[in-house]
């Protein structure tokens, strides 16, 4: 029996033992959310060698605002078929936070496994209008800033503070799209050269189209197992040795937008700097955000960032963060890495951040 690495959070070790995602597309016009989830749920059960009857707890992350109807996460349970009834929960957040809740739930000790999933059909509505709803309702939302304009304010702060250049943004986009060419689930796969990307006109200066994520429909799922159960379900479980999330004020005019204090705090608590990092998967949908989060995590230039292509190659809302956890875990499950870092974000301009350290035995 392999040994379980020491963990910094929780008294009961929990590992990711299975991950599945679908192919992100601009608009999945033939499936509803349940139909989009169904193959992902089946696949993740197959990968872990489990059936739904063996799952102790279910937690999902999604937002009803995308579909424009209440309690769409309840309908989504049809993708699992929860009969007899199961213990289940939901967060109106990215699935990465659903995983956090499941991690906490497994600390209780009475259950050994959890299914976590996230899904989002971004194509159903106007994302600028939907995401306006997360802003301060009195001082910001009435102005109707769009997502790109807000990101431009942050990108300018990065440039002004000497933390990055427009060419750096283009290099990040080119690398992401190139890495995505080997990822069957990614949406934007291209071998672009930086010079041609720099010739694109500004959308909102200083941002060009390549600095933005694609709009994606997608879903993903993860299976967690606690203690010795993990070794029954995976040869190389990806143990969660540190996980934490922190939030900053929603009044982003009161923050230094070029620095992510909450990511740095979460990283310190999760123990990112306590060992080498083979690769990091970061939910940084705008190119400049990679520079901010990389610095906050204290990652060196030798760490591979988003080798999957990351959110600049596929950005399914509400499962994009869970995908980062899944990709970082898959490298360990496959035996390609022994220590990886995953990051997820929520709220405007990196307001809230989750950091997770995953380790193989």
Partner 1 sequence: MIGSFLTALRDGVLIGIKGTGGKVIFPPTEYDPDTAEETSGIVNVGPGAVVTSWGWVSQPLKQHPLAHPFAWALIQPDGADTAMLHVVDAGSESAMATGMRVTATFRPADERIGAMADLVAFVPEEAK
Task: Return the residue of 5, 61, 206, 326 that touches partner 1, per CB under 8 A.
Answer: 206
Binding status of residue 249 toward partner 1 by CB under 8 A: yes
Chosen residue from 179, 248, 290, 359 binding partner 1 by CB under 8 A? 248
Q: Does 128 bind partner 1 (CB under 8 A)?
A: yes
Sequence-separated contacts (24+) of 130-134 with Cβ below 8 Å: 130/63, 130/65, 130/66, 131/348, 133/65, 134/347, 134/348
Task: For tokens 């489990």, name the residue.
Answer: 50
Contact call for residue 133 and partner 1 (CB under 8 A): no
* Stretch touching partner 1 by CB under 8 A, among 24-32, 48-56, 248-256, 295-303: 248-256
Looking at 182-190, 198-206, 235-243, 317-325, which segment touches partner 1 (CB under 8 A)? 198-206
Instruction: Tell me the β-bridge partners of 87.
Output: 57
* 86 φψ region: left (φ > 0), alpha (ψ -120 to 50), beta (else): beta
- CA-CA-CA-CA torsion sign (51, 52, 55, 61): positive
Phi, psi of 220 (to 5 degrees): -150, 165
By CB under 8 A, name the one of 144, 235, 273, 335 that touches partner 1.
144
Among 160, 167, 228, 235, binds partner 1 (CB under 8 A): 160
Give the total of residues touching partner 1 (CB under 8 A). 33
Smallest distance from the beta carbon of 317 to partner 1, in angstroms?
A: 20
Interface with partner 1 in residues 47-106 (CB under 8 A)? none
Q: Residue 171's closest CA among 196, 201, 204? A: 196
Among candidate residues 38, 21, 6, 49, the one with its CA nearest the CA of residue 225:
49
d(CA 322, CA 97): 8
Q: Which residues pair with 89 in a beta bridge?
A: 59
Q: Distance between CA atoms of 290 and 174, rounded to whole angstroms?
A: 13
Task: Tell whether residue 202 is a contact of partner 1 (CB under 8 A).
Answer: yes
Answer for which of 150, 172, 211, 243 binds partner 1 (CB under 8 A) is 150
| The length of the chain, given as a count of residues | 361
Of the candidates 220, 244, 212, the one whose C-alpha atom is nearest the C-alpha of residue 343 is: 244
Residue closer to partner 1, measured from CB, 151 or 355: 151
**Structure token pair of residue 255:** 């923050």
Please, are residues 82 and 52 in contact by the beta-carbon 8 Å criterion? yes
Interacting residue with partner 1 among 138, 184, 193, 300 (CB under 8 A): 138
205 interacts with partner 1 by CB under 8 A: yes
Smallest separation, CB 260 to partner 1 (Å):
15
Question: Closest CB to partner 1 among 157 and 243?
Answer: 157
Q: Does 143 bind partner 1 (CB under 8 A)?
A: yes
Note the residues at the interface with partner 1 (CB under 8 A).
Answer: 128-129, 138-140, 142-146, 149-157, 160, 202, 204-207, 248-249, 251-255, 257
């Amino acid at each position: 029996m392999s040994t379980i690495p020491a963990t910094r959070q929780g008294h009961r070790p929990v590992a990711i033992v299975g991950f599945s995602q679908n192919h992100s597309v601009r608009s999945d016009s033939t499936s509803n959310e349940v139909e989009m989830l169904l193959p992902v749920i089946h696949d993740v059960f197959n990968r872990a060698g489990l059936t739904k009857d063996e799952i102790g707890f279910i937690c999902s992350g999604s937002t009803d605002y995308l579909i424009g109807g209440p309690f769409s996460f309840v309908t989504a349970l049809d993708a699992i078929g929860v009969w007899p009834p199961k213990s289940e929960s939901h967060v109106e957040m990215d699935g990465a936070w659903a995983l956090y809740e499941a991690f906490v739930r497994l600390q209780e000790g009475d259950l050994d496994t959890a299914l976590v999933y996230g899904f989002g059909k971004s194509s159903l509505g106007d994302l600028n209008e939907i995401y306006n709803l997360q802003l301060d309702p009195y001082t910001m939302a009435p102005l109707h800033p769009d997502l790109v304009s807000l990101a431009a304010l942050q990108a300018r702060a990065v440039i002004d503070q000497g933390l990055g250049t427009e060419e750096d943004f283009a290099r990040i986009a080119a690398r992401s799209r190139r890495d995505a060419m080997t990822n069957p689930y990614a949406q934007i796969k291209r071998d672009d050269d930086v010079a041609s990307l720099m010739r694109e006109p500004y959308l909102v200066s200083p941002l060009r189209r390549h600095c933005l994520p694609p709009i994606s429909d997608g879903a993903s799922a993860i299976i967690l197992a606690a203690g010795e159960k993990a070794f029954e379900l995976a040869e190389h479980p990806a143990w969660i040795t540190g996980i934490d999330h922190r939030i900053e004020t929603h009044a982003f005019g009161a923050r230094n937008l070029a620095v992510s204090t909450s990511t740095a705090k979460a990283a310190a608590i999760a123990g990112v700097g306590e060992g080498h990092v083979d690769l990091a998967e970061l939910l940084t949908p705008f190119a400049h955000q990679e520079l901010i989060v990389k610095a906050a995590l204290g990652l060196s230039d030798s760490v591979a960032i988003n080798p999957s292509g990351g959110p600049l190659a596929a950005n399914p809302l509400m499962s994009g963060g869970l995908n980062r956890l899944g990709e970082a875990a898959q490298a360990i499950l496959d035996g390609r890495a022994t220590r990886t870092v995953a990051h997820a974000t929520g709220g405007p301009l990196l307001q809230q951040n989750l950091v997770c350290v995953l380790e193989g035995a």
